[in-house]
Amino acid sequence: MRVKVCGMTDADQVKGLDEMGVEFCGFIFYPKSPRFVFKHMPAINIKKIKGKINKVGVFVNAPSEEILQTVDSCGLYLVQLHGDESPKACEKISDYISVIKAFRLAEDDNILWKIKDYKEVVDMFLFDTEGAGYGGTGKKFDWDALLGLNIDKPFFLSGGIQPEDIPALKEFSKAPVARDLFSIDINSRFETMPGVKDMDKLKTFVSRV
């Protein structure tokens, strides 16, 4: 099972994730986030981060020109669009770099309706929990909402995933919908403070999944 660790703010911790075999690390480029990476690292330092780990830039309703400039200045591998970006806006970005479109799910959402206009214009989806703002809530949505659906696109499963969820994740991975499960996405439940990860907790979790 692939793992993405989001909200990274420290190059040494990213190196540690790479050594663990974590496939993706997320840098948040949303100024209102407590994990806004430019408060901690300039673009050149992000670009200098090397290794097998793939650098993902997380943006919220940012202009396409700003996103593409950040992709180049930071050496990003993927872009995650976590706001209210239209299919047309997503397509413009995906002409340049692979795009993950995030959807914040509320109870009783028609998931297939929400994603249908994005299927042809992005590379992957991410399912997170609906909250008051655009950031992660640290809470789960009901994964059962995905059961029985044909997503037909690789997706990340996000939203308050914590160490105790390993049995539930393994059970979810047996469901037919999980044939499209590309990676899980973890963040705040593995932190000592916003943007600072508990590396021991992460190492244990990664080794178990």
pLDDT digit string, tens, across residues 186-202: 999 999 999 999 999 99
Q: Which amino acid is at 99?
A: V
Instruction: Say whether 128 is catalytic.
Output: yes
**What is the predicted pLDDT for the residue at 208?**
92
Higher pLDDT, 27 or 130: 27
Q: What is the mean pLDDT of residues 85-92?
A: 97
**What is the predicted pLDDT for the residue at 139?**
72
Residue length, the chain? 209
Instruction: Say whether 95 is catalytic.
Output: no
**What is the predicted pLDDT for the residue at 25?**
98
pLDDT tops 60 at residue 136: no
Half-sphere exposure of 159 (CA within 13 A, CB side): 20
**What is the predicted pLDDT for the residue at 137?**
54
Q: What count of other Cβ atoms lies within 10 Å of the Cβ of residue 32?
A: 10
Phi, psi of 181 (to 5 degrees): -70, 110
- Of 59, 14, 21, 22, residue with least CA distance to 196: 14
Question: Which residue in the list 6, 25, 74, 90 is annotated as catalytic?
Answer: 6
Question: Which residue in the list 25, 74, 90, 128 is annotated as catalytic?
Answer: 128
- Kindly give the pairing relationship between strand 191-193 and strand 196-197: antiparallel
Q: Are 11 and 45 in contact (CB under 8 A)?
A: yes
Structural domains of the chain, with CATH: 3-208 (3.20.20.70)
pLDDT tops 60 at residue 104: yes
Average pLDDT taken over every residue of the chain? 94
pLDDT tops 90 at residue 58: yes
Residue 158 tokens read as 């996000």
